[in-house]
Structure 1
């Protein structure tokens, strides 16, 4: 007797599909991944997969949105809750490192970097909608912090990307590390906080 597939809420099923897609894209690359293989990993028929996603590109875009779209920075709330540069740096670093502990984020970033030449429009969209927006949030935070007298208009005010550089370095090193290599996120976080205090 044939067993009937369990009907799951769409959000749960979408999560399963994206988990399967991340495995399939990581194993086969964007070009090599096929919708039927993603469906198989997710325990669905190909038609079941197409009920949720109309194309491989749409699945890839959903993966980027799921793992590489951190919450927007609430610059005003961070500045208002900070009485010193150190507190400002702590809150900013807490926000920046929130997603780094998620291994799926590192795997997805590796995938984006590896496949950006094949899907340049998706890489460009991610940069514009996520990376550039995050940078604008940090610039806004610095402007508000200067208004409150928490920091000066130094090099970080002119180049807010410098405050993101240690995160970018941490991501690159995590991508290059093997599974058995230790990755001391806490030490990197502390060093990043000290750097921000120095720059501000």
Structure 2
């Protein structure tokens, strides 16, 4: 196979490797997966894989960058643009089901849960560059809502984590149980119910209303 010569061809080859790696990590586990296996699944030589990535840890970091970071950036911008807290939360809970259903995020979550101890540095990078950014954006939103009097929560940092807790549940359900078509999760319905519960929980108590 000829080596990629144009930038477009290089990008396509890189995406091919990442797609193959995600499936290999998902099916075999990160610990057991080898660069040879990724190359075989991608239909290219191991040497070609090493032209793009030096290790499987580097491959997974690239997966995080390509799959998770664009979603986090979208959420950050959405929360900043929203005029009020209810609109921001509604936009968030409308977007998350799309991410779960139309992206590769559930498979990534399964890999992280299954093999976290096998690559602690990669997991730490994921926590710092993805989760902490998400929690920071949500905490800032909740604090803004508390200052404006739109909502009330005594612990914005904890509430921020609870806002996205159903993401983990949804991802685990999809990758474990949905092979049985009788167990398909209504993700949109789940987040609609979650939104209603969140808004009720964040409502300003009567004694605090002006």
- Alignment of 1:71 with 2:75, yes or no, is no
Cα distance in structure 2, aligned partners of 1:189 and 1:156: 22
Which structure has the highest helix share of the two? 2
Counterpart contact for 1:156–1:163, Cα < 8 Å? no
Q: Flag structure 1 segments of 5+ consecutive residues without an equivalent.
A: none
Equivalent residue, structure 1, for 2:187 = 185
1:132-183 CA distance string (max 9 Å, x none)? 111110011112223333223x246352222122223222322331323311
Equivalent residue, structure 1, for 2:51 = 51
Query: TM-score when scaled to structure 2?
Result: 0.81
Equivalent residue, structure 1, for 2:156 = 157
Cα distance in structure 1, aligned partners of 2:100 and 2:54: 30
Cα distance in structure 2, aligned partners of 1:96 and 1:136: 17
Equivalent residue, structure 2, for 1:96 = 96
Cα distance in structure 2, aligned partners of 1:21 and 1:99: 20
Equivalent residue, structure 2, for 1:199 = 201
What value does the CA root-mean-square deviation take over the aligned residues?
A: 2.2
Q: Kindly report which structure 2 residues correspond to 1:1-200, keeping only aligned pairs within 5 A, or say none.
A: 4-5=1-2, 7=4, 9-69=9-69, 70-72=71-73, 73-74=76-77, 75-78=79-82, 80=83, 82=84, 86-102=86-102, 104-152=104-152, 154-155=153-154, 157=156, 159=158, 160-179=160-179, 180=181, 181-200=183-202
Query: TM-score when scaled to structure 1?
Result: 0.84
Cα gap change, 1:165 to 1:23, in 2 (>3 Å): closer
Equivalences, count? 192
Counterpart contact for 1:135–1:161, Cα < 8 Å? yes
Cα distance in structure 2, aligned partners of 1:135 and 1:199: 18
Counterpart contact for 1:68–1:109, Cα < 8 Å? no
Cα shift at 1:76? 2.5
